[in-house]
């Protein structure tokens, strides 16, 4: 969340004064309007706003692809644990792929890790860095795999001029507090595929979906309840109006930092440097000690990649201990269909991912830095680089 204020207060107040907080039956139609505006922004046909966050969006998307026990899903070893947990929630097994120097899933490792059990790839547009979507979609096509995009850290970002989340079969977004636009919590999925949309939507309303006029093309199944409310819809509509200017300012600051400091710092490459959303700049050091020394000089806005906790597969406790459900009988690691699948999460699975994160320092960007603040940051980064 970068910019929130009077617009969101007024929008939320309007809903409260209307006393129509449920998304159906009122006059305001905030959720429905957000969904239309978001789908239009992305250039897709369908989207659904949900209270459950990016995690719920991912789980709904995986369920929509009818992925379950006996299936493997390829995910990167560097992503929020939610990417992995949503696969397990559906009863399938996440298989970890390396990231490359751009912090995104390595297409070469995807190719190496595909087996007859693979059903989908989840590329994650980490920290505003777009994945190599054209190559990934091509690989998926050759092998008949679904592509579910995790755009939670890149709401509204693009790759080759096309919004992330619209390259694959279905895109998942998070609007939690830490994301580019936010209503505190919440999320969304978006797709052009009507049946996938229906199945994902079905997953979001406990087998009822009583308020919608969708005529389901399949028997409705029991699932979760992630219905969004009108306050969230109203806030997100205001956030959406701010999205492009937030991204433009993030990109401007990122570009300034890179242009000013390339003589003394080595910034990591991007699959599309001008489209990198720029929530951070990431700097490569020769080793971990040099990176740490740099971060210490910078303070709170700098952090080593390897310190990103539950963003790194070796820290995903439920996967490490193979306890992925509340009762053993529902733990996918125990399912007979999943025996023989590659449920391996040791450091040896993706050594390159860990090596890169040990050498990479992240510096968080604020799109609202004034000229003077930006100058100070540049001076501080330059001094620390020595």
Ligand X SMILES: *Cc1c(COP(=O)(O)O)cnc(C)c1O
Shortest CB 296 distance to ligand X, Å: 26
Positions of E strands within 145-191: 146-150, 158-159, 162-163, 170-174, 187-191
Query: Closest-CB residue for ligand X?
Result: 53
**Three-state secondary-structure class, residue 281:** strand
**Toward ligand X, which CB reaches closer, 96 or 265?**
96
Name which of 173 and 209 has its Cβ closer to ligand X: 173
Q: Contact, 126 vs 103, CB < 8 A?
A: yes
Shortest separation between residue 307's beta carbon and ligand X, angstroms: 16
Helices (H), 75-130: 82-89, 107-113
Q: Tokens in use for 10?
A: 């007024």
Residue 152 binds ligand X (CB under 6 A) = yes
Buried b (16+ CB within 10 A) or exposed e, 80-96: bbbbbbbbbbbbbbbbb
- State the nearest-atom distance from the C-beta of 299 to ligand X, in Å: 23
| DSSP code for 349 | G
- Residue in 153, 191, 229, 277 binding ligand X, rule: CB under 6 A: 153
| Least distance CB 385 / ligand X (angstroms) | 28
| One of 174, 182, 270, 277 touching ligand X (CB under 6 A) | 174
86-145 residues in contact with ligand X (CB under 6 A) are: 124
Cβ-proximal residues to 362 (8 Å cutoff; 6+ apart), any chain: 127, 280, 281, 282, 283, 302, 303, 304, 305, 308
Residue 176 is a binding residue for ligand X (CB under 6 A): yes
Cα 174 to Cα 184: distance, rounded to the nearest angstrom:
10
Between CA 122 and CA 58 the distance in angstroms is 9
- Closer of 118 and 153 to ligand X (Cβ): 153
Least distance (Å) between residue 130 CB and ligand X: 13
Segment lying near ligand X (by CB under 6 A), choices 48-56, 61-69, 207-215, 341-349? 48-56
227: phi then psi, degrees, rounded to nearest 5? -60, 135
Q: Does the protein bind ligand X through residue 55 (CB under 6 A)?
A: yes
Q: Is the dihedral of CA 304, 306, 307, 309 positive or negative?
A: positive
x/- mask, ligand X, residues 65-84, rule CB under 6 A, reads: --------------xx-xx-
CB of 142 to ligand X, least distance (A): 26
Q: 214 vs 31, 87, 169, 329, 370, CA distance in Å?
A: 16, 26, 20, 34, 48
Closest CB to ligand X among residues 153, 270: 153
Nearer to ligand X by Cβ, of 74 and 384: the residue is: 74
Question: Interface with ligand X includes 280 (CB under 6 A)?
Answer: no
Q: How far is the CB of 300 from ligand X (least distance, A)?
A: 20
Minimum CB separation of residue 53 from ligand X in Å reads 2
E runs forming strands in the chain: 46-50, 72-76, 93-97, 118-121, 146-150, 158-159, 162-163, 170-174, 187-191, 266-267, 280-284, 302-304, 360-364
Q: Which of the ranges 101-109, 147-155, 227-235, 262-270 carries the binding residues for ligand X, by CB under 6 A?
A: 147-155
**Of the candidate residues 77, 130, 187, 305, the single one contacting ligand X (CB under 6 A):** 187
Total binding residues toward ligand X, as defined by CB under 6 A: 14
**Per-residue DSSP letter, 38:** H
Alpha-carbon span 27 to 233, nearest angstrom: 13
Distance of closest approach, residue 379 Cβ to ligand X, in angstroms: 31
Nearer to ligand X among residue 59 and residue 338 (C-beta): 59
Q: Which residues make up the interface to ligand X (CB under 6 A)? A: 53-55, 79-80, 82-83, 124, 150, 152-153, 174, 176, 187
């Amino acid at each position: 969340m970068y910019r929130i204020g009077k617009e969101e207060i007024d929008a939320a107040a309007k809903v409260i004064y209307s006393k129509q907080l449920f998304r159906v039956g009122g006059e305001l139609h905030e959720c429905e309007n957000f969904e239309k505006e978001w789908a239009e922004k992305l250039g897709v046909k369908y989207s659904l706003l949900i209270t459950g966050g990016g995690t719920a969006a991912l789980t709904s998307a995986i369920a929509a692809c009818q992925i379950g026990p006996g299936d493997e899903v390829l995910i990167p070893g560097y992503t929020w644990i939610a990417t992995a947990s949503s696969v397990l929630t559906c009863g399938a097994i996440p298989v970890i792929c390396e990231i490359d120097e751009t912090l995104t899933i390595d297409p070469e490792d995807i190719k190496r890790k595909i087996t007859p059990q693979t059903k989908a790839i989840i590329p994650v547009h980490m920290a505003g860095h777009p994945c190599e979507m054209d190559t990934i979609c091509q690989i998926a096509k050759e092998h008949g795999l679904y592509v579910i995009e995790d755009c939670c850290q890149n709401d509204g970002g693009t790759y080759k001029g096309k919004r992330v989340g619209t390259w694959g079969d279905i895109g998942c977004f998070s609007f939690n507090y830490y994301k580019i636009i936010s209503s505190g919590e919440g999320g969304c999925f978006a797709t052009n595929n009507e049946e996938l949309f229906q199945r994902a939507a079905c997953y979001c309303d406990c087998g009822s979906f009583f308020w919608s006029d969708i005529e389901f093309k399949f028997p409705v199944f029991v699932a979760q309840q992630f219905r969004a409310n009108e306050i969230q819809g109203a806030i997100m509509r205001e956030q959406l109006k701010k999205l492009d200017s937030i991204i433009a300012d993030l990109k401007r600051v990122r570009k300034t930092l890179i242009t000013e400091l390339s003589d003394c710092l080595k910034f990591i490459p991007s699959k599309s440097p001008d489209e990198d959303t720029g929530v951070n700049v990431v700097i490569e050091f020769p080793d971990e000690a040099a990176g740490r020394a740099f971060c210490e000089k910078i303070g709170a806005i700098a952090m080593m990649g390897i310190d990103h906790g539950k963003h790194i597969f070796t820290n995903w406790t439920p996967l490490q201990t193979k306890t992925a459900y509340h009762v053993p009988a529902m733990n996918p690691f125990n399912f007979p269909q999943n025996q023989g699948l590659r449920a391996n999460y040791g450091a040896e699975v993706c050594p390159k991912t860990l090596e890169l994160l040990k050498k990479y320092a992240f510096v968080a960007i604020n799109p609202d830095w004034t000229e003077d603040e930006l100058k100070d940051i540049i001076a501080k980064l330059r001094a620390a680089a020595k």
